[in-house]
Amino acid sequence: MGENVLNENVLVLNTTYEPINICKVKRATVLILKNIAVPLEYNSKYISSPSVKIPVPSVIKLLKYIKIPTRTVVLSRKNVLIRDDYTCQYCGKKFPPNELTIDHIIPKSKGGKTSWDNVVTCCKKCNTIKGQQTAWEAGLRLVKKPSAPNYIYFVHIVRHLGNNNSAWMKYLYK
């Protein structure tokens, strides 16, 4: 059990609780033992030796702030779908990618820009209802306010979405 457990992924948060990396349990345990990080969440496994039993962390937070260079995520259909978790931002239902469109909250015909805060994932039914109106004119309300995603989230975390680690969710989707 020990070797497999050491290779599991651990979410690393900055002191501000911003996700900045993913490391292996082995690295996370070293950071904790060196008082560089503290565990915030554990999974149900343990690292065991004859004299010690250590719970396996799934989320750690650094004790010293690390400055991360500012980078931006490219605005693309794929990245909007990932940001919105393949969920229509009007009705709240999840769909396969081919059944979704990218909708301008304020339509281009009314001066709306193609930007992170004006585009959302939308099912075809809601898109038909909305038409060339603003979301408010069509009587539609957004599930969540759209914004540009964190670069680190896309580079490291999206890669591991299949991990389905429920302990990570409260730190990733704010």
pLDDT value at residue 162? 46
Rounded distance between C-alpha atoms, residue 123 and residue 101, angstroms: 6
Residue 96 in this model has a pLDDT that exceeds 90: yes
Model pLDDT, residue 150:
74
Structural domains in the chain?
A: 2-69+151-172 (no CATH), 77-130 (1.10.30.50)
Burial 36-74 (b: 16+ CB within 10 A, else e): ebebbbebebebeeeeeebebbbbbbbeeeeeeeeeebe
Through-space distance between the first and last CA atoms of the chain, rounded to whole angstroms:
34
What is the model's pTM? 0.58
Return the minimum-mean-pLDDT range out of 41-45, 68-72, 83-87, 110-114.
Answer: 68-72
Q: Do the Cβ atoms of 10 and 25 come closer than 8 Å?
A: yes
Reported as a pLDDT band with limits 50, 70 and 90, residue 4 is: confident
Question: Is 20 or 81 the better-scoring residue by pLDDT?
Answer: 81
The residues, ordered by sequence, that sit 6+ positions from 88 with a Cβ below 8 Å of its Cβ are 94, 95, 100, 121, 122, 123, 126, 143
Nearest to 56 by CA among 28, 35, 34: 28
Amino acid at 31: L
Q: What is the pLDDT of residues 62-78, one digit of tens each?
A: 999 999 877 788 899 98
The single-letter code of the amino acid at 129 is I
Q: pLDDT tens for residues 135-172?
A: 999 999 999 999 988 776 666 555 555 456 778 777 76
Higher pLDDT, 161 or 41: 41
62 three-state secondary structure: strand
Q: Which residue has the higher pLDDT, 130 or 171?
A: 130
